[in-house]
Amino acid sequence: MELSPWAAFVAAVLVVITALFLKTIIQSRGRRTYNLPPRPRPWPLSRRYGPLVQLWFGSMPVVIGSSAEMAKFFLKTHDAAFADRPRFAVGKHTTYDYSDILWAPYGAYWRQARRICTAELFSAKWVESLEYIRDEEVRALLRDLRGASGSVVRLKGHLQMAALGVISRMVLGKKYVEAEDAAAEGGGMPPAATPAEFRELIDEFFALNSASIVRRTKKMSRQFGRFLERVLDEHNERRRLSRDNVKALTQDLIIGGTDTSWMTIEWAVSELLKNPELLTKATTELDRVVGRDRLVRESDLPHLPYIDCIIKETLRAHPAAPMLVPRLAREDVSVGGYDIPAGTTALVNAWAIGRDPALWDAAEEFRPERFAGSKAAAAAEEPDFKFKMLPFGLDRRMCPAYTLGLREVTLSLANLLHGFACRLSDGMTEENLCMEETYQLTLPRKVLLEAIVEPKLPAMLYAGA
């Protein structure tokens, strides 16, 4: 039997719980007695135990909220109480002792780091002014895909390099990951990493952050450190942050901005290949609005409502961070008669909320139309809508780059669909296209998407940046 990622995740947790059961009992002796939320047997968690359950990850108490009400409780009503992040065994090595933004403890350093990034990298004006970078990287994506057209293509590699290109150029001023021959052609220094080396590093990063294997993590961290040292040598200005702080921040932005983007696009294309009538609707809109003699520009995006609906539906059904990023209770809090003691890790199950049949009609179906029209627009304006659909988290620790992320994902998807006729590889049918997910911190496809892409536009449009 195939398990959903959520079930597989819980299963893994429960194995740890059993192994550490005795230790937990011993450690809990002598503490204040709390009336804790019910503890589950394996699953299905939220359906059997309600929207709030407690688990133990080893000796660490964890509560999981799986309803819009619980999302509101953790992320709005008690946002300040849950604004911290837990510390994991591997975190010390992967985050320069928590001196990034994502895992930094709530406090003065996090505030300063987040303020610097928000003001200097993610402000609307700055994001707007770097449109040419996104445009050039999309062109480079189309050029590379055209080179691979006609045969079976694994989209992940191409999408990952395009997302990385955008983030690197926005944050660091140039690309540090390139094929050696491309760098030599540009007359520059050898790349800090080749695409293959970088892919391996990122995949290892996510695998290890999910699995907590300290020795392998230290090794991976040293490799990432060498990459970042090379980047930093070229950026001597350190402002008020230490060299390690800057490395931690750079790593956050590269990792946070790369995988979330390519994964979202890969899921969107997968759903469209599985539902060809939706793909036709999307390409018809692109032909009508953009026409076949040019690529899609950012200024076209407001006129592509169906593409917008596809992105929203993808974020609902396949949120790139299915449990958001864990929060940590800074103080004792109570909900529905249950106590959540300070020090408890809180997860908000955005994946389950996005598929909650009480909130969404035909929640398991991919239906971009649910976001279309004035009725849907009015519903999205309702104050509590943000707790139904929260792919970027909410409030204090919400993704600071969501405008950039959305723009990049929408532009890339639109150009991919406009530039190429996409179809499943020979022998693969819509019915047997695997749509299983793998739970890490993010939610990649279990099986990489393979497709055949055929260029549709005049050849000169694929000339690249």
Whether the CB-CB separation of 421 and 176 falls below 8 Å is answered with no
Kindly tell me which of 43 and 122 has the beta carbon lying closer to ligand HEM.
122
CA dist., res. 263 & res. 319, Å (int): 9
- Of 144-152, 223-231, 399-407, 455-463: span binding ligand HEM (CB under 6 A): 399-407
Measured from the CB of residue 409, what is the shortest distance to ligand HEM in angstroms?
5
Measured from the CB of residue 159, what is the shortest distance to ligand HEM in angstroms?
12
Site string for ligand HEM, 81-120 (x = CB under 6 A): --------------------xx-----------x------
CA dist., res. 121 & res. 400, Å (int): 10
Measured from the CB of residue 232, what is the shortest distance to ligand HEM in angstroms?
17
Instruction: Determine, following the binding rule CB under 6 A, whether residue 231 of this chain makes contact with ligand HEM.
Output: no
CA dist., res. 218 & res. 376, Å (int): 48
Is the four-CA dihedral 307, 311, 312, 314 of positive or negative sign?
A: positive
Residue burial 4-40, b: 16+ Cβ < 10 Å; e: rest: bbbbbbbeebbebbeebeeeeeeeeeeeeeeeebeeb
CA dist., res. 406 & res. 413, Å (int): 11
Nearest residue to ligand HEM, scored by beta-carbon proximity = 393
Instruction: Determine, following the binding rule CB under 6 A, whether residue 307 of this chain makes contact with ligand HEM.
Output: no
Strand order in the sheet with 450-455: 152-154, 450-455, 420-424
Kindly tell me which of 346 and 452 has the beta carbon lying closer to ligand HEM.
346
Instruction: Determine, following the binding rule CB under 6 A, whether residue 311 of this chain makes contact with ligand HEM.
Output: no
Whether the CB-CB separation of 102 and 256 falls below 8 Å is answered with yes
- Of 38-46, 146-154, 257-265, 266-274: span binding ligand HEM (CB under 6 A): 257-265
Q: Is the peptide bond before 42 cis (omega within 30 degrees of 0)?
A: no
399 marked ligand binding residue: yes
Kindly tell me which of 252 and 285 has the beta carbon lying closer to ligand HEM.
252
Site size for ligand HEM (CB under 6 A): 27
Instruction: Determine, following the binding rule CB under 6 A, whether residue 368 of this chain makes contact with ligand HEM.
Output: no
**Which residue in 340, 399, 416, 452 binds ligand HEM (CB under 6 A)?**
399
CA dist., res. 449 & res. 9, Å (int): 22
Query: In a 3-state reduction of DSSP, which class is residue 138?
Result: helix
Instruction: Determine, following the binding rule CB under 6 A, whether residue 169 of this chain makes contact with ligand HEM.
Output: no
Kindly tell me which of 167 and 417 has the beta carbon lying closer to ligand HEM.
167
The first and second tokens of residue 228, run together, are 């970042």
**Which residue in 40, 61, 86, 391 binds ligand HEM (CB under 6 A)?**
391
Query: In a 3-state reduction of DSSP, which class is residue 1?
Result: coil
Residue ranges in 134-163 that form contacts with ligand HEM under rule CB under 6 A: none
Instruction: Determine, following the binding rule CB under 6 A, whether residue 328 of this chain makes contact with ligand HEM.
Output: no
Instruction: Label residue 327 left, alpha or beta by phi (over 0 means left) and psi (-120 to 50 means alpha).
Output: beta
Which residues are part of a known binding site? Answer: 399
List of residues contacting ligand HEM (CB under 6 A):
101-102, 114, 167, 252-253, 256-257, 260-261, 264, 320-321, 324-325, 391-394, 397-401, 404-405, 409
